[in-house]
């Protein structure tokens, strides 16, 4: 029996091995097929991603060209804007109500003269055909007194700024203020034949020097039918040492568009050389915007630091 079984096993052996090998091959074949499928799927995915990348690149380049187009459109608009002549809006009275782009009037005011610089400033103003406003102090120098007359004769506005310009004297009492005012008024009338009607308080109407309320001094002016003006633009020429002309130019123009009427504060003292140097460029810049440079008159806005409603 055992021998027969052994023979059967020996006969079946190769078949079993063959079957096992066949099964192994089939198994391997299935595994290879599956791996191929995966590779194909991955290849497809890579293709898809590549296509997406291409379309993204296309989109980015189209955005780039849109940005370029926008840039040139903005450039074209800027050009158009710079070509618009603001004189179209001049004198219509509505500009300041809607949106004050530039003032309707500019007043150039000069304090603390006369000095040898006053003559130079008058020459510049005359050259450009504009009128200035001179808030003068008192002097007994006959040469400087001639400047009072030049101011009036050449059509500029002679205004008062106290005779002594000494804060501690002028503001010590109403009586002292009045005497100082009368002294300057008499001198100017004697030299020029007119008595100025516009006044600027030394240090401005909001100065903190006077211990007496400023209303008391304003009352003195009111009684004489006089008006006082401060300023809303500071050229910066009061500093010591003097600012260079470039800075005075920049300061004078920097805030111009904030006011319906702009009153710029300058000084025509003897040492204010950079004011004289900056003035032609300042006038040219204002005139290039077609803004009138005006003498103060009774239609001028009340540009005051202190008002009764304060
Ligand atoms: Zn002054």
45 CA to centre of ligand 1 in angstroms: 84
Residues 183-228 pLDDT 10s:
999 999 999 999 999 999 999 999 988 889 999 999 999 999 999 9
What DSSP designation does 258 have?
G
pLDDT at 310 over 60: no
As a whole number, mean pLDDT of residues 44-54 equals 60
pLDDT of residue 291: 97
- Measure 34 CA to ligand 1 centroid, in angstroms: 99
> How many whole angstroms from 103 Cα to the centroid of ligand 1?
25
Cα 163 to ligand 1 centre (Å): 11
Band of pLDDT at residue 46, cut at 50, 70 and 90: low
Question: Which residues lie below 8 Å from residue 302, measured CB to CB, with a gap of 6+?
Answer: 227, 229
Counting every residue written for the chain, the total comes to 310
- Alpha carbon of 122 to ligand 1 centroid (Å): 19
- Helices (DSSP H) in 211-272: which residue ranges? 214-223, 245-254
Q: Could you tell me the distance, in angstroms and rounded to a whole number, from the CA of residue 240 to the centre of ligand 1? A: 14
SS3 track for 14-30: HHHHHHHHHHHHHHHHH
Neighbours of 280 (CB within 10 A): 15
Tens-digit pLDDT profile for residues 104-153: 999 999 999 999 999 999 999 999 999 999 999 999 999 999 999 999 99
Cα→Cα distances 136→161, 185, 214, Å = 5, 11, 20
Please tell me the distance between residue 137's alpha carbon and the centre of ligand 1 in angstroms: 8
Residue 146: which of 193, 191, 190 has the closest Cα?
Answer: 191
**Cα 265 to averaged position of ligand 1 atoms, centre (Å):** 10
Q: How many CA atoms lie within 13 A of 294 on its CB side?
A: 16
Q: How far is the CA of 112 from the centre of ligand 1 (A)?
A: 5
* Range with lowest mean pLDDT among 12-21, 53-62, 108-117: 53-62
Distance 263 CA to ligand 1 centre (A): 15
**How far is the centre of ligand 1, averaged over its atoms, from the C-alpha of 309 (Å)?**
25
Q: Span 10-26, mean pLDDT?
A: 72
Centre of ligand 1 from the C-alpha of residue 167, in Å = 10
75 pLDDT higher than 50 = no
pLDDT at 101 over 90: no
Using a 10 angstrom Cβ sphere, with 0-12 exposed, 13-18 middle and 19 or more buried, the burial of residue 178 is: middle
Comparing CA positions, the residue from 185, 158, 165 lying closest to residue 269 is 165
DSSP state letter for 44: H
Q: Identify the pLDDT of residue 23.
A: 80
The rounded percent of the chain whose pLDDT value lies above 70 is: 74
- Tell how far the Cα of 162 is from the centroid of ligand 1, in angstroms: 9
Report whether pLDDT(78) > 50. Answer: no
Taking the centre of ligand 1 as the mean of its atom positions, its distance from the CA of residue 203, in whole angstroms, is 6
Cβ atoms of residues 251 and 236 within 8 Å: yes
- pLDDT surpassing 80 at residue 14: no
The CA 255 to ligand 1 mean position distance, Å, reads: 22
Ligand 1 centre and the CA of 105: distance in Å?
23
pLDDT band at 61 (very low <50, low <70, confident <90, very high): low
């Amino acid at each position: 029996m055992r021998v027969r079984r052994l023979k059967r096993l020996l006969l079946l052996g190769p078949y079993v091995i063959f079957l096992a090998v066949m099964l192994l091959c089939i198994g391997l074949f299935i595994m290879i097929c599956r791996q191929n499928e995966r590779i194909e799927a991955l290849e497809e995915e890579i293709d898809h991603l590549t296509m997406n990348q291409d379309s993204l690149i296309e989109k980015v380049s189209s955005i780039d060209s849109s940005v370029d187009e926008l840039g040139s459109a903005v450039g074209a608009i800027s050009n158009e804007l710079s070509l618009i002549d603001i004189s179209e809006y001049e004198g219509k009275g509505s500009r300041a109500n809607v949106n004050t782009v530039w003032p309707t009037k500019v007043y150039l005011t000069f304090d603390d003269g006369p000095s040898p610089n006053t003559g130079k400033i008058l020459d510049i103003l005359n050259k450009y055909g504009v009128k200035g406003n001179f808030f003068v102090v008192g002097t007994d120098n006959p040469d400087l007194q001639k400047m009072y007359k030049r101011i009036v004769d050449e059509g500029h506005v002679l205004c008062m700024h106290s005779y002594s310009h000494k804060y501690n004297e002028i503001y010590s009492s109403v009586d002292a203020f009045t005497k100082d005012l009368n002294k300057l008024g008499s001198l100017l009338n004697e030299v020029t034949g007119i008595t100025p009607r516009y006044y600027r308080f030394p240090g401005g109407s909001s100065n903190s020097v006077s211990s007496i309320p400023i209303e008391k001094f304003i009352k003195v002016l009111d009684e004489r039918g006089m008006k006082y003006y401060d300023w809303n633009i500071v050229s910066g020429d009061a500093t010591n040492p003097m600012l260079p002309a470039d800075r005075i130019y920049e300061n004078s123009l920097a805030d111009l568009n904030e006011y319906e009427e702009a009153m710029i504060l300058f000084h025509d003292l003897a040492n204010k050389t950079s004011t004289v140097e900056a003035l032609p460029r300042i006038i040219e810049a204002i005139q290039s915007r077609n803004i009138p440079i005006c003498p103060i008159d009774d239609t001028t806005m009340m540009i005051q630091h202190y008002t009764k409603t304060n």
